[in-house]
Amino acid sequence: MPVDGRTSRSAERLVGRTIRLRRWPVRRRAGGQVIVIMLFGMSLLVGLVFFVYNVGDQVNSRLEMQNTADSVAISGAGWIARSMNAIAMNNFAQAKLIGLIPVLDAFPLASRMAWDEAKSWAEGLQQQLDRGVPSDFLREGLESVRDRMFAERDILEPFKQALNDGGFNMETVTHWSVRGSDGGTPHGTIWRGAVTLDEFSQAALASSSLLSQHEAVRFGERNRADAAFIVPVVPSIPARRGQFANFGPIMQGRLHVTDDGASYRATGGRGGAIPDYAFPHRLGPYARLHRWRDRTREATNRVWVPPREGARVRSGQGSVNIGGRRRGNSAMQRSSGHGGYWRNTGWVESGYTTYGPYDWALRRVRWYSLGRRYHPYNYDGELSDLYFYTYVKDISRIKLGYMFGDKTPRMIHYPTWITDYPRSRTIASDPNARIDRTMFYLVEIVSSVPEGDPRWLTSGTYRTNGQRPIAIWVNGWEDPADWNVPKIADYIWQDSYTYQTTRDTSIGIYPQRGADGREVFQTVYLVAYYVFGGIDVGGEVQVSNPCNWEADDELPAPMLLDTTAGDYEHETAQFGGADEGFRRERFTFLGVARRGNRAPVWPQRFYNPNPLGSTLTLAQAKVFNNTSWDLWTQDWRVSLAPVTRWDDWVLRLERGAAEAGLTNGMVTQAEVEAVHEFMNRLNHEMADKYMRH
């Protein structure tokens, strides 16, 4: 339909207005919805970020607090272990100091006795050489003994001089009370050291309770815990102070240990048993840590070993046959014609016996003095011809008896030697004279040819002990004039005899066979020269007492494990593995650490229903000794363990609340009660989760 221009413009305006009216409302509705959605989404995102941040903070705090609880448990229990090690170290050091006293105090008298002997013997040998000897090899033998005597005398001289004639007084080291000393006892430096160690142990025992809790609290504070402590709230070491007599088994008793038990017996000096030993968990440092032990063996098979090289012997016997103590070498001992013996070819280790610090010191003297037979490295002893070690041993055992027994003064024989034979006979003729010992030197020649033969003493035909003759000490008086053998020089007698052997290649006797094919016997010629050495006419001297305390003096004493309430279930708990009974009660500790768990962001909206309002973490630690469960063995350790027996810790926290007042404010009763209340309210499922952290 045709329209005019006006109608057309009106229509256009109408259409435009219609279009505008349709667009405007649509554009306004779309913009408002996006803003609402965006604001809502941003709120959720911010809340999620806060939630993740707060959760992460709580997780980190939980992990940090668990590490803190571990530190609290380890530090508190560790102080107990260190205190026990300090006490064990002091106990052992006291025993070693006390064990040295008898040995050191024996040196002055023993060195005088041995030096006087060495001087007398050396001078007597020199006088014999000046008088003359009938053969060169006999002279060589006596000169070798004389030279050793002079050498050993020279070794002892500065030692004897310093201890007896110098400015050093051994009593100031070894005697409890020293004449002329000022101040209270003890006076001797060793005794003072032992008393100081005892006092240190008493202080360690008395302070271990508070100091172990202090260590636990300090580590908790350093790790930013609001509260931290260990349970027991007042920890303690199960120890008691013993008496001086408790050192007795260590010095005088020997512990014999086998696979099925241990036994103790008094030995008067070997020592090595701790006073509270128990098998198998408490044998002490001498058996377990230091291994001061002698193995005991039993033979499983014995066989007869014929003489060396298969020789057979028909023995002869001379006119002189004196016994007594001997030192040196015999030419007879090397002969293949003398021998044959039973030998053990199989052994079974049946156990061991321990020795203590007193015997340890004596062994050092023995190895130095006698050497070879006694030292594992087999060197010759520096004083092997003298009785120095014997005198030290005998004197020190008397002093050890003073230490743990009767203080009645005791005597020891002091040797005085007369080396002139005529004078010795004159003394012996007096019925009232006392002769303690008679001494001889024996030089032997073992030869395949008789004396007087042109080959006598030619190379390869004889053997002699001229380099180290035998020294023989016989009890009482022994007069060579009664032997019925010829006297060949002043103070020298000769004994000659023969024996037979089938072979002795060292002196040129090789096997020869008879018509029956068997080895035939051949004659060996032996000449023995006996040289008079002297007689001992010494008297008795009193052995001083280094243990001269009064009845009311305070003596040092060791710390012992207190087992009056029971022992430590060693059958099921060797080396600290048990979690029951006394081992748990005395040696298991719970570390507690707590920190407030308020959310760092928007705490009003992130509420935690935990009644403590905190993060609480727990850790368990144990104190143990893998070597020997005693207060003598310095091997106490500490380690973490899984938290066990929740109900037991709840009960111990309940007891600990009443003890909190004893910690000098380090742990409050309210704090302990709050932790107790929290743990007591947890059901078994939640408690199990705590123990499985």
Give the distance, in angstroms, between the CA of residue 372 and the centroid of all CA atoms in the same chain: 25
More confident residue, 10 or 482: 482
pLDDT band at residue 59 under the 50/70/90 scheme: low
Q: What value does the mean pLDDT take over residues 187-197?
A: 97
pLDDT attached to residue 375: 46
Which long-range contacts (C-beta less than 8 Å, at least 24 apart) are formed by 347-350?
A: 347/297, 347/298, 347/299, 347/300, 348/297, 348/298, 348/300, 349/295, 349/296, 349/297, 350/258, 350/296, 350/297, 350/298
- The pLDDT > 90 percentage for the chain reads 63
Q: What is the pTM of this model?
A: 0.85
The string of pLDDT tens digits covering residues 264-294 is 999 888 899 999 998 888 999 999 999 999 9
Q: Is the pLDDT of residue 14 over 90?
A: no
Q: Is the pLDDT of residue 24 over 70?
A: no
More confident residue, 9 or 684: 684
pLDDT band at residue 180 under the 50/70/90 scheme: confident
The string of pLDDT tens digits covering residues 387-437 is 999 999 999 999 999 999 999 999 999 999 999 999 999 999 999 999 999
pLDDT band at residue 10 under the 50/70/90 scheme: low
pLDDT attached to residue 578: 66
pLDDT attached to residue 377: 44
When mean pLDDT is compared across 138-152, 405-419, 478-492, 566-580, the lowest value belongs to 566-580
Domain extents for the chain? 1-292+355-411+546-693, 300-339+417-537
Q: What value does the mean pLDDT take over residues 157-161?
A: 95
For residues 283 and 309, what is the distance between their CA atoms, to the nearest angstrom?
48
Average pLDDT score, the chain: 86
Q: Which two tokens stand for residue 293?
A: 């032990």
More confident residue, 285 or 342: 285
The string of pLDDT tens digits covering residues 497-525 is 998 888 888 899 998 998 888 889 999 99
pLDDT attached to residue 404: 95
In DSSP terms, 343 is beta-bridged to 303
Q: Which of 155, 193, 158 is nearest to 173 (CA)?
A: 193
Q: Is the pLDDT of residue 110 over 60?
A: yes
pLDDT band at residue 307 under the 50/70/90 scheme: low
Q: Is the pLDDT of residue 672 over 80?
A: yes
pLDDT band at residue 376 under the 50/70/90 scheme: very low
**Backbone φ and ψ of 666, nearest 5°:** -65, -40
The string of pLDDT tens digits covering residues 229-242 is 999 999 999 999 99
More confident residue, 374 or 480: 480
Contact 466, 446 (CB under 8 A): no
Q: What value does the mean pLDDT take over residues 59-85?
A: 90
SS3 462: strand
Residue 541 neighbours by CB under 8 Å, 6+ apart? 109, 411, 412, 414
The string of pLDDT tens digits covering residues 588-627 is 999 999 987 665 555 555 555 566 677 889 999 999 999 9
Q: Pseudo-torsion of CA 480, 484, 490, 495, nearest 10°? A: -100
Q: Which two tokens stand for residue 614?
A: 């905190």
